[in-house]
Amino acid sequence: MQSLSKHIIENGKEKGYYIDSINGVLDHIHLLVRLTPTQNPADCANLLKGESSNWVNKNNFIKGKFSWQKGYGVFSVSESQVNKVRNYILNQEDHHRKKSYQEELASLLKHFGLD
């Protein structure tokens, strides 16, 4: 995960995205990305996902073909919550000992009133 995280940060920087925090577990990752008003979250997600999956496959890090899930979630965060979100991201392993990815996603969708 460490080399993938480093690669995503470097690639993001090349594309003009500032990745504040990144961490993940076996089945997903979280990123805290600071976007400018002219940067589109969908473009950012698609560029980072597409390039990083190509990088993983090109370097044969796993058997078979790697790809990210089709979808992704994007949530805006007020400046007052940045430290809380950063700490959440950096402590993924501890967090997911208590709540699975599926439980986490269901909770977020419910919290934001999404299906």
Please report the pLDDT score of residue 99 as a whole number.
86
Looking at residue 92, its pLDDT comes to: 85
Contacts of 21 (CB under 8 A, 6+ apart): 30, 31, 32, 85, 86, 89, 90
Mean pLDDT of the chain: 92
Residue 36 clears pLDDT 90, i.e. is over it: yes
Phi, psi torsion values for 71, nearest 5 degrees: -95, 180
pLDDT of residue 97: 85
What CATH number is attached to the domain comprising 95? 3.30.70.1290
Tally of domains in the chain: 1
Per-residue pLDDT at 83 exceeds 80:
yes
Q: By residue range, what is the domain housing residue 56?
A: 2-111
In the chain, the percentage of residues whose pLDDT exceeds 70 is: 100
